[in-house]
Amino acid sequence: MKRLAALLFAAAMLAAGCSSDQSGPGQHLVVFAAASLKQTFTQIGEQFKTDNPGATVEFSFAGSSDLVTQLTQGAKADVFAAADTKNMDKAAQAGLLAGNPVNFATNTLTIAVAPGNPKGIRTFRDLARPGLAVVVCAPQVPCGAATKKIEDATKVILAPVSEESAVTDVLGKVSTGQADAGLVYVTDVAGSGGKVDGVTFPESTGAVNTYPIATLKGAADPDLAQKFVELVTGPAGQQVLAQAGFAKP
């Protein structure tokens, strides 16, 4: 009887152990990424889940400067992808990075206008025309810093009706008719589904933004975080980014 009881106890413990393994928490990844990466990273996230069965990905998309502020104030994340090197440098200086960031894409500004360009905007200088409602990103946001760089180079000073905290907000104002024009990335126009048209201008080549990505020291699963970085910088991720209009770093 004692032997039978021992065997039954051992079997019960083994079953409990198996049950515990099967119901344990899955791998969960939190990615903080620039607003302009929303479409591409969402797509890459689906591929990531396919490549890593049982893993889940949670994205927080916003202006890069806002994301850095959140991280320095204690927000928890595993991966950070910024729309410029300046904000990634801020994260590095705050001691948030687990390793060196990797540049994975570049993006260029264009002028978003209503379909058909009813205001006849052809150049960057046209954005300074009186009576034109123009929206830009705030100076601390990468798209805003790029706008300021072009203003300085061309000596054309804009008088925007608003300065937004994310490039997607600029796009939204133009696509809904709240603004006549806005400075966004070429990828934003390409991904707008025809809600806006884009007007390219040569001066934009002087303010190209480089996108870096890095794993963070607070990552709950550093290996999983590194796998996401490798997917973004690898052939599959690069193909998604190229299809959206991003250029190589």
Helix, strand or coil, per DSSP, at residue 97:
strand
> Does 36 appear as a known binding residue?
yes
Round to whole Å and give the CA distance between 183 and 165: 13
Range 201-204, long-range pairs (CB < 8 A, 24+ positions): 201/110, 201/111, 201/123, 201/124, 203/124, 203/150, 203/153, 203/154, 204/108, 204/109, 204/110, 204/124, 204/146, 204/150
The answer to whether 138 and 164 are in contact (CB under 8 A) is: yes
Residue 211 marked in a binding site? no
User: In this structure, are residues 34 and 81 in contact, taking their beta carbons and an 8 Å threshold?
Assistant: yes
Residue 20, annotated ligand binder?
no
In the sheet with 79-81, reading across from the earlier edge strand, the strands are 56-62, 28-34, 79-81, 209-215, 102-107
- Helices 235-243 and 38-51: crossing angle in degrees, nearest 10, is 150
Give the annotated binding-site residues.
36, 64, 167, 185
Q: Which residues are annotated binding-site positions for molybdate?
A: 36, 64, 167, 185
